[in-house]
Amino acid sequence: MNDTADPRPRTAARNRRIAGMDPQKRRQILDGAQAVFHAQGFDAASMNEIATAAGVSKGTLYVYFEDKEHLFIALIEREREKHRQHMYDALAEHPDLAHALTGFGTNLVRLLTDPFALSAHRTVLGVAERMPDLGREFYERGPLLGGQRLTAFLERRVATGELAIADPVLAAAQFADLCQSTLLRPRLFNAERRPPTEAEIAHVVDAAVTMFLARYAVRAH
């Protein structure tokens, strides 16, 4: 009985599993979407235009992404990944506390002030009231995730006796905010269109580390 069973259902199921899994095709779609979002903005962009820019059919586009919102979030995630691993590596690779915090803060600022990141941030803020799920997903995959990683790092350093922190979640948010001071908001609102220089980033992050450790570091007696 099993030898004569119709193999087509299993073949169809296998095809569904592999649909949308070609990394080159996915990258092709994301590249096309990035060009359209950059030129037209999130609201004006259509899936038809994205499919055309990516050189794929609209049917193929929907195999990979169910709607424009999920496509946009995937594009944001791709751009974040260019910087995010450096942030986490800084926390894992440097035994010196100040060095680790400086590496994390520097890469955080580079991520946040990247032109695409700034544009994505503005877009999400503009649609979050009518698309709360998009705003929530942007927050959970970005600021919340980064804050959780930094919180875990701070908790480990509390356990080693280097830091005295009663509320690591708050402390992580404080440090992230200190690193952004004077660098993010002017660019987020297009009051400053020039990217920060490495020297400017270093100046702000060094001050953030100094202030943070002055508050939370355990002093040797």
The residue range of the domain holding 98 is 79-216
pLDDT band at 13 (very low <50, low <70, confident <90, very high): very low
CATH of the domain at 61: 1.10.10.60
76-91 pLDDT, tens digit per residue, is: 888 888 778 778 888 8
The answer to whether the pTM exceeds 0.85 is no
221 inside domain: no
21-69 pLDDT, tens digit per residue, is: 789 999 999 999 999 988 888 888 999 999 999 999 999 999 999 888 8
Mean pLDDT across 206-220: 95
80-139 pLDDT, tens digit per residue, is: 887 787 788 888 877 899 999 999 999 999 999 998 889 889 988 988 898 898 899 899
Higher pLDDT, 155 or 220: 155
Q: Are residues 30 and 57 in the same domain?
A: yes
pLDDT for the residue numbered 17: 39
Q: Is 6 helix (H, G, I), strand (E, B) or coil?
A: coil
73 inside domain: no
Q: Are residues 61 and 129 in the same domain?
A: no
Q: Are residues 137 and 36 in the same domain?
A: no
Q: Are residues 199 and 136 in the same domain?
A: yes
How many distinct structural domains can be found in the chain? 2
Residue whose tokens read 């700034």 = 118
* Close Cβ partners of 130 (under 8 Å, ≥ 6 residues apart): none
Report the share of the chain in percent with pLDDT over 90: 62
92 inside domain: yes
Higher pLDDT, 218 or 90: 218
* Close Cβ partners of 89 (under 8 Å, ≥ 6 residues apart): 103
pLDDT band at 19 (very low <50, low <70, confident <90, very high): low
Q: Are residues 60 and 85 in the same domain?
A: no
Is 176 within 8 Å of 150 (Cβ atoms)? yes
- Of 28, 52, 20, nearest to 39 by C-alpha is 52
211 inside domain: yes
pLDDT for the residue numbered 168: 98
Amino acid at 221: H
Q: Are residues 132 and 187 in the same domain?
A: yes
DSSP 3-state percent helix, strand, coil across the chain (nearest 5): 75, 0, 20
Is 87 within 8 Å of 108 (Cβ atoms)? yes
CATH of the domain at 139: 1.10.357.10
Q: Are residues 140 and 205 in the same domain?
A: yes
Q: Are residues 91 and 12 in the same domain?
A: no
d(CA 122, CA 188): 7
71 inside domain: no
Q: Are residues 184 and 93 in the same domain?
A: yes
Q: Are residues 166 and 125 in the same domain?
A: yes
148-187 pLDDT, tens digit per residue, is: 999 999 999 999 999 999 999 999 999 999 999 999 999 9
pLDDT for the residue numbered 14: 46
- Of 180, 142, 172, nearest to 154 by C-alpha is 172
